[in-house]
Every structure is written in C-alpha cells, then in structure tokens.
Amino acid sequence: MRTLRWHKLEIEIPRDEEFIVPVAVAGKKLCLIRHEGKLYLTQRSCPHAGGQLSGGWCKKGMLICPLHRYGYNLENGRGAEGQGDYIDIYPLRIDSDGLYAGIKENLFKRFFGR
C-alpha cells in the first residue's frame, strides 16, 4: 500500500518567469520547473538513457531532454508520440510557509524498513 506524504522543499523558488532547477526531496533527485506560469515537479533522470532533465528546456507544455531531445508532457509525464515512455510527475502544494512535494511512500517500507 502506498500513501502520499508531503515534504517541504528547502529551496528559494527562483523569481524567473521560466526555470528548471534540480532539487532533492525525500531522497529523490527531481526537477522543479516553472513553465507558462505553472510549477511542476518531475523526476530528474531521463528514462531514455539517463540524461539530466534539469539541463533541458520546456516547449509548449513539454520538458525536453538535452541529450537526444525526447519530450515529456509536464501534466501527465507521457513521452511524445512514438517514444512509448514516461516520466514521473509529483504533486505540489503551496502553503503559507513554502512549497510542498507529494511523494508516495510504501507503508510496508516505512514501518519495516524494507
């Protein structure tokens, strides 16, 4: 069973209109992205061949990997047509004291450490 747990992002959110910054949350290496006025949190490693998506760019709602230019939909993580892959997208919550990332946690692992 997996449950969603909220983790505060310990970073200053850039003021830039568009950005991609690497962040670490709950032991995961992720990307915090602002694109077309909206914040997104995605996995950092590209599923194609491990490129660092934090070095990529966004275009028309897609996150583009800098290595071979595969694209991933920022809303649902789906790879562009013909790729047949996807990235994980994590929920974000804005609270009065900052930004929180929702990370699914395996309850068995949480209680028994495995």
Q: Which residues bind ligand FES (CB under 6 A)?
A: 46, 48-51, 65, 67-68, 70
Distance, CA of 56 to CA of 106 (rounded, Å): 30
**Nearer CB in complex with ligand FES: 79/101:** 79
Distances (CA, A) of 19 to 30, 55, 59: 13, 10, 12
CB of 1 to ligand FES, least distance (A): 32
**Nearer CB in complex with ligand FES: 40/70:** 70
Distances (CA, A) of 14 to 10, 47, 102: 12, 26, 20
CB of 24 to ligand FES, least distance (A): 20
**Nearer CB in complex with ligand FES: 7/78:** 78
Cβ distance 33 to 40 under 8 Å?
Answer: yes
Cβ distance 105 to 3 under 8 Å?
Answer: yes
Give the SS3 label for residue 3. Answer: strand
CB of 30 to ligand FES, least distance (A): 16
CB of 12 to ligand FES, least distance (A): 28
**Nearer CB in complex with ligand FES: 21/67:** 67
